[in-house]
Amino acid sequence: METTTEIKQMVRERYGKIAQQDKSANESSCCGSGCCSVETTNIMNDAYNQLKGYVRDADLGLGCGLPTEFAKIKHGDVVVDLGSGAGNDAFIARHETGDTGKVIGIDFTPSMIELAEKNRKVRGYNNVEFKLGDIENIPLDKNSVDVVVSNCVLNLVPNKRQVFNEIFRILKPGGHFSISDIVLVGDLPDKIKSAAEMYAGCVSGAIQKTEYLQLIEDTGFMNIKIQKEKKIVIPDDILKNYLNDEEVAEFRKTGAGIYSVTVYGEGSCCGPFAISCNVKC
């Protein structure tokens, strides 16, 4: 079993390579993992091109939702995108927050930061910043952010509870998040859960939906709700990279499922990083 350090290094190396390949290669795989399917061009990603602020060059096709569409970003907000990749969600957030706001992208893959910075400079976005950092230890001050977004990233992080603690810490009182992620309902076969490429492809690092929502509640967030949910159907030709025909058939019978969920939550004065405010806890 991989250690936390080994998992992070594997993900960093995988996404470092993804940053160097073109979007078509990423879109023909499972979150860029390389487990290509002839049955579908992309089994996770939602189309961004209808959203204002969309930058095609910054869209690597690695997401599993549209968190910025649901994030209720207002003009002047400070927005943070966790796992910002080439910058697509950050640039859409910039459109929503306007020239008076600020957007900060955090990513722990140097080549992704380099690519995002290139996309930012070409467009002259002076109120967008990309920082190299681990989202288990976000390099921002507490109570400094209005909105947090993230797209198909937390499933790759070993310590998800710590990430939600960090989100809670950096949000201002009254701040909120909208996060798209991969969760499970039921049990996946061990062969899929243990496959390194499936891990880097968003599946094996995912946890049960009930556990995911409980983590958010335990952190102290309020008004938690699922803004969007869709079932991810992995084509047989991907599954057969890891399972034989009999195992694929058995897996289909179990009813176990992989879901993309976009979850919303609001900060609270009552959580583990409580500060003084005018709310009775």
Whether 144 is in a domain gets the answer yes
pLDDT of residue 39: 43
| Contact by Cβ (8 Å): 29, 183 | no
Higher-confidence position of 12 and 124: 124
pLDDT higher than threshold 70 for residue 279: no
Whether 276 is in a domain gets the answer no
Whether 278 is in a domain gets the answer no
Whether 279 is in a domain gets the answer no
Number of domains in the chain: 1
pLDDT higher than threshold 90 for residue 106: yes
pLDDT higher than threshold 70 for residue 34: no
| Contact by Cβ (8 Å): 156, 127 | no
Using 50, 70 and 90 to split pLDDT, how confident is the model at 197?
Answer: low
pLDDT higher than threshold 50 for residue 179: yes
For helices 4-18 and 110-123, angle between their N-to-C axes, nearest 10 degrees:
40
Using 50, 70 and 90 to split pLDDT, how confident is the model at 37?
Answer: very low
Of 63, 262, 271, 85, nearest to 166 by C-alpha is 271
Continuous segment of H or E residues that includes residue 197: helix 196-200
Continuous segment of H or E residues that includes residue 9: helix 4-18
DSSP count for the chain of H helices, then E strands = 11, 7
H helices of 23-87, in order, are 23-27, 67-70
- Averaged pLDDT, 43-65: 78
- Averaged pLDDT, 57-81: 92
| Contact by Cβ (8 Å): 78, 106 | no
Give percent above pLDDT 70 in the chain. Answer: 78
Whether 274 is in a domain gets the answer no
Three-state DSSP at 94 gives helix
Q: For residue 239, give its domain range.
A: 4-266
pLDDT higher than threshold 70 for residue 125: yes
pLDDT higher than threshold 80 for residue 273: no
pLDDT of residue 114: 95
- Could you report the per-residue pLDDT of 145-177, keeping only the tens digit for each? 999 999 999 988 889 999 999 999 999 999 999
DSSP 208: B
pLDDT higher than threshold 70 for residue 276: no
Q: How far is Cα 138 from Cα 5, in angstroms, rounded to an integer?
A: 17
Tell me the CA distances in angstroms from 180 to 47, 229, 254, 261, one per residue in order: 14, 9, 25, 6
Tell me the CA distances in angstroms from 160 to 153, 215, 245, 261, one per residue in order: 10, 8, 34, 15
Whether 116 is in a domain gets the answer yes
CATH number of the domain that 123 lies in? 3.40.50.150
pLDDT higher than threshold 70 for residue 232: yes
- Averaged pLDDT, 66-92: 96
- Highest mean pLDDT range out of 23-27, 226-230, 240-244? 226-230
Long-range contacts of 36-41 (CB under 8 A, 24+ apart): 36/238, 37/235, 37/237, 37/238, 38/235, 38/237, 39/235, 39/236, 39/237, 39/238, 40/235
Whether 36 is in a domain gets the answer yes
Whether 110 is in a domain gets the answer yes
Average pLDDT, the chain: 83
pTM of the model: 0.84
pLDDT higher than threshold 90 for residue 123: yes
- Averaged pLDDT, 108-121: 94
